[in-house]
């Protein structure tokens, strides 16, 4: 049976109904309810506009890779409000100070009843979308005035709920908490009646990175059409990711003796697409268009002898002698202005490690061995290419642990982070983190912990020197199955004054009044944020704590994973979306590894005890009880 909401939408694509659903979404703190509201909206939306509804609900007009961002300054939007409602700017400013949200101001000063009586024409989703699209695409002289006029016209025809969400949308503050996996869940429920089908939808999404496209295909042609989605040159493929392992022996065992080890370069992952018309586009790890950052790489790629291709590799900055420089140096290239200058100062090389499409042939289902040889052959026949700029990442067949260890030393000496060992039989698994690729860094072998990439979900104000600024941040790990961020630590160490200033500035734009429905926490910081900023941290140990929710109950009832002595490494992972953060599953694996290491150490020490007793006359009972007291921190799963 159709709900009231559905009946209304079948007859009209009134934007008010979408706005009312948004209002409900902002009032819920439950992700299940959020999904259900979205299910109702999607079920009722005609397939001709469902892509637009999917983008709008995420605060976008297009998938990220199109690079269209509609960010109007609050000042400009305030002028549109002034024009639409006749309110004076000082009045708007007073209300803004009071409410802290221009959307709320719009809702207050737009008088619903007057608007409805004056304007019989209702706002439709199409009308809203096409106006916002025109605003996003207006640039140059007179564009600010044109934007104000267009927005004012929309606002004049809007009810107060519509005005609120239109205003939030154009200022980039819609923030409904509807992330990719929530949309996929909702689509699966709405059109197949079974949430389990999310996996099938996810596969199509991984190949196209376009939720609107998947939504439209599913609602118009059904699941079978979604299942047969292919790679499209020009639409980025979500990257295949690596698992980590702690020893070369374990890696060889996992790979069944048939693997290739490649250098793990420390740069920026780039996916390059060349369409039939010769156009080359570059995409980052989080699928943003970054073509303008690497014009030198684009130029070099033009010499590749293939009409169409999708290749993947690591862009790495080079010093004057052509040696690899660390990741931080490359980040100088990520700028809007002075790109030319940065290009000369920090030349980059493009080190290819995969090919996903070439001249009409999809390569993702081919084995790694086949893909690597295709890549090598393609480069070999590209005679005019600058081989110092575009090259294939060094890789060698490895059949025993010694070969991996010696290659690791070689890679480190060349300035790399470690190795990525690849299963030669594996296809390219878009968007998946599996053991077909295993990363191996020196940190994994020793007691020094590997870094974690965690999401800032909250912060509390500082004291003393940090008064007036944030002193500690609440960090969370990601749970992909439920699309939820679970808290795992508070952190206040490792930040320079400049770091704090930068991070606080970014967080200002992400402030939300209540905890996001996508965050699960038992603690309450002073401020909550939309999960967005990912930072790299290091810790001495993973422990268990009743305060945190990551892995709650996995090891011990009522306790989750916590970090002991967490410290910021200085790296803000701008290359990672919050959904790319360290997962709860990874925390569990790290914890289990720690337990294994501790057991091995304890056993080897226990064997030394009789000798020590003889030598130093130590009381054995005392020694064992000391060890036991340490063991209680590590509970076995
Ligand atoms: P990390 O934080 O360790 O860079 P990540 O989460 O960004 O990891 P992973 O899949 O876990 O990504 O590790 C592989 C990453 O290493 C890739 O995303 C890529 O940027 C980089 N890399 C460098 N060299 C290679 C290579 N030869 N093959 C695959 N990835 C490589």
Residue 629 has a pLDDT of 36
Q: Which atom of ligand 1 is nearest to the CA of 262?
A: 27
CA distance 451 to 582: 9
> The tokens of 233 are what?
């040159």
Q: Which of 376, 420, 421, 580 to mutate to test the pocket of ligand 1 (most atoms within 8 A of CB)?
A: 420
CA distance 277 to 456: 42
Average pLDDT, the chain: 88
CA angle 24, 28, 29 (to 5 degrees): 160
Q: Which atom of ligand 1 is nearest to the CA of 451?
A: 2
Assess contact for 359 and 307: CB atoms under 8 A.
yes
Q: What is the DSSP string of 111-167?
A: -HHHHHHH--SPPBHHHHHHHHHHHHT--STTHHHHHHHHHHHHHHT--HHHHHHHH
pLDDT at 146 over 70: yes
Residue 326 has a pLDDT of 77
Instruction: Provide the greatest CA pair distance for the chain.
Output: 98
pLDDT in tens, 529-546: 999 999 999 998 899 999
Average pLDDT over residues 210-229: 97
pLDDT at 627 over 60: no
pLDDT in tens, 243-263: 988 899 999 999 987 899 999
**Of 19-23, 369-373, 440-444, which gets the smallest average pLDDT?**
440-444
- pTM, rounded to two decimals: 0.81
CA distance 614 to 428: 58
Please say whether the structural domain 4-170 has been given the CATH code 1.10.3260.10.
yes
Cα 267 to ligand 1 centroid, rounded to whole Å? 9
Strand pairing class (241-244; 433-440): parallel
**Of 47-61, 103-117, 222-236, which gets the smallest average pLDDT?**
103-117
* Residue, of 619 and 92, whose pLDDT is higher: 92
> The tokens of 484 are what?
């939820």
Residue 388 has a pLDDT of 83
Cα 239 to ligand 1 centroid, rounded to whole Å? 10
From the list 138, 155, 178, 156, the residue with the least C-alpha distance to 103 is: 155
What are the catalytic residues? Answer: 264
Cβ(264) to ligand 1 under 6 A? yes
Q: Which of 269, 315, 393 to mutate to test the pocket of ligand 1 (most atoms within 8 A of CB)?
A: 269
Average pLDDT over residues 591-610: 73
Q: Which atom of ligand 1 is nearest to the CA of 453?
A: 2
Residue 29 has a pLDDT of 83
Assess contact for 488 and 560: CB atoms under 8 A.
yes
CA angle 564, 567, 572 (to 5 degrees): 135
CA angle 150, 156, 158 (to 5 degrees): 105
In the block, residue with structure tokens 């700028």: 335
Q: Work out the pLDDT band at 277, boundaries 50, 70, 90.
A: very high
Residue 343 backbone phi and psi in degrees, to 5? -65, -40
Assess contact for 470 and 456: CB atoms under 8 A.
no
Residue 205 has a pLDDT of 97
From the list 387, 351, 353, the residue with the least C-alpha distance to 260 is: 353
Q: Work out the pLDDT band at 608, boundaries 50, 70, 90.
A: low
pLDDT at 437 over 60: yes
Bridge partners, 397 (sequence order): 260
Q: Work out the pLDDT band at 446, boundaries 50, 70, 90.
A: low
Cβ(354) to ligand 1 under 6 A? no
- Give the list of residues 6+ apart from residue 598 with CB closer than 8 angstroms, or none: 630, 631, 634
Residue 157 has a pLDDT of 92
pLDDT at 343 over 80: no
pLDDT in tens, 25-66: 999 888 899 999 999 999 989 999 999 999 999 999 999 999
| The CATH fold of domain 241-437 | D-amino Acid Aminotransferase; Chain A, domain 1 (3.30.470)
> The tokens of 605 are what?
């020490």
Q: Which CATH superfamily is domain 451-585 in?
A: Nucleic acid-binding proteins (2.40.50.140)
Cα 429 to ligand 1 centroid, rounded to whole Å? 14
Cβ(268) to ligand 1 under 6 A? no
pLDDT at 423 over 90: yes
Q: Which atom of ligand 1 is nearest to the CA of 422?
A: 28
CA distance 622 to 72: 68
Task: Give 4: exposed, middle or buried? Use CB within 10 Å, 0-12, 13-18, 19+.
Answer: exposed
CA distance 257 to 400: 7
Q: Work out the pLDDT band at 325, boundaries 50, 70, 90.
A: confident
Torsional sign, CA 591, 595, 596, 600: positive
């Amino acid at each position: 049976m159709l709900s009231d909401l559905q009946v209304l939408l079948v007859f009209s694509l009134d934007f008010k109904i979408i706005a009312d659903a948004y209002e409900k979404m902002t009032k819920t703190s439950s992700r299940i309810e959020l999904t259900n509201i979205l299910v109702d909206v999607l079920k009722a939306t005609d397939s001709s506009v469902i892509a637009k509804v999917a983008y709008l609900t995420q605060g976008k007009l297009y998938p990220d890779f199109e690079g269209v961002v509609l960010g109007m300054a609050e000042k400009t939007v305030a002028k549109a409000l002034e024009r639409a409602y006749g309110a004076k700017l000082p009045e708007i400013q007073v209300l803004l100070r009071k409410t802290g949200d221009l959307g709320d101001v719009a809702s207050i000063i737009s008088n619903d009843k007057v608007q409805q009586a004056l304007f019989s024409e209702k706002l439709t989703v199409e009308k809203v979308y096409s106006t916002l699209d025109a605003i996003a695409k207006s640039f140059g002289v007179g564009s600010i005035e044109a934007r104000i006029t267009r927005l004012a016209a929309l606002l004049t025809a809007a009810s107060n709920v519509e005005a609120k969400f239109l205003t939030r949308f154009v200022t980039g503050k819609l923030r409904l908490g509807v992330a990719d996996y929530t949309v996929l869940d909702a689509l699966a429920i709405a059109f197949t009646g079974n949430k389990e089908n999310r996996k099938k939808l996810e596969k199509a999404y991984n190949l196209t990175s376009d939720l609107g496209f998947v939504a439209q295909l599913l609602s118009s042609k059904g699941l079978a059409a979604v299942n047969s989605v292919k790679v499209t040159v020009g639409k980025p493929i979500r990257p295949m990711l690596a698992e980590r392992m702690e020893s070369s022996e374990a890696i060889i065992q996992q790979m069944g003796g048939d693997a290739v080890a490649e250098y793990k370069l420390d740069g920026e992952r780039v996916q390059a697409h060349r369409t039939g018309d010769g156009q080359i586009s570059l995409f980052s790890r989080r699928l943003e268009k970054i073509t303008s950052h690497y014009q030198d790489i684009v130029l070099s790629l033009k010499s590749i002898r293939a009409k169409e291709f999708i290749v993947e590799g690591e862009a790495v900055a080079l010093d004057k002698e052509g040696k690899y420089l660390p990741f931080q140096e490359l980040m100088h290239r990520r700028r809007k202005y002075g790109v030319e200058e940065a290009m000369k100062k920090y030349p980059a090389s493009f080190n290819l490690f995969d090919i996903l499409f070439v001249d009409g042939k999809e390569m993702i289902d081919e084995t790694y061995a086949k893909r690597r040889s295709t890549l090598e052959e393609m480069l070999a026949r590209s005679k005019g290419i600058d081989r110092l700029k575009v090259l294939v990442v060094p890789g060698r067949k490895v059949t025993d642990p010694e070969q991996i260890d010696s290659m690791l030393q070689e890679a480190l000496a060349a300035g790399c982070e470690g190795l990525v060992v690849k299963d030669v039989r594996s296809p390219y698994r878009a968007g998946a983190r599996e053991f077909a690729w295993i990363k191996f860094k020196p940190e994994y072998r020793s007691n020094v912990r590997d870094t974690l990439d965690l999401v800032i979900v909250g912060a509390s104000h500082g004291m003393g020197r940090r008064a007036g600024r944030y002193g500690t941040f609440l960090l969370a790990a990601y749970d992909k199955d439920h699309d939820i961020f679970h808290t795992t630590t508070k952190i206040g160490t490792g930040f320079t004054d400049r770091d704090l200033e930068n991070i606080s500035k970014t967080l200002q734009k992400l402030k939300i009044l209540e905890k996001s429905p996508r965050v699960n926490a038992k603690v309450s910081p002073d401020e909550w944020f939309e999960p967005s900023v990912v930072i790299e941290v290091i810790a001495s140990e993973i422990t268990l704590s009743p305060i945190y929710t990551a892995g709650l109950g996995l090891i011990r009832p009522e306790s989750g994973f916590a970090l002991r002595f967490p410290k910021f490494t200085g790296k803000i992972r701008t290359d990672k979306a919050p959904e790319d953060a360290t997962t709860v599953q990874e925390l569990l694996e790290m914890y289990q590894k720690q337990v294994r290491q501790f057991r091995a150490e304890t056993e080897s020490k226990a064997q030394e005890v009789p000798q020590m007793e003889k030598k130093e006359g130590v009381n054995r009972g005392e020694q064992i009880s000391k060890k036991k007291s340490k063991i209680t921190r590590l509970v076995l799963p």
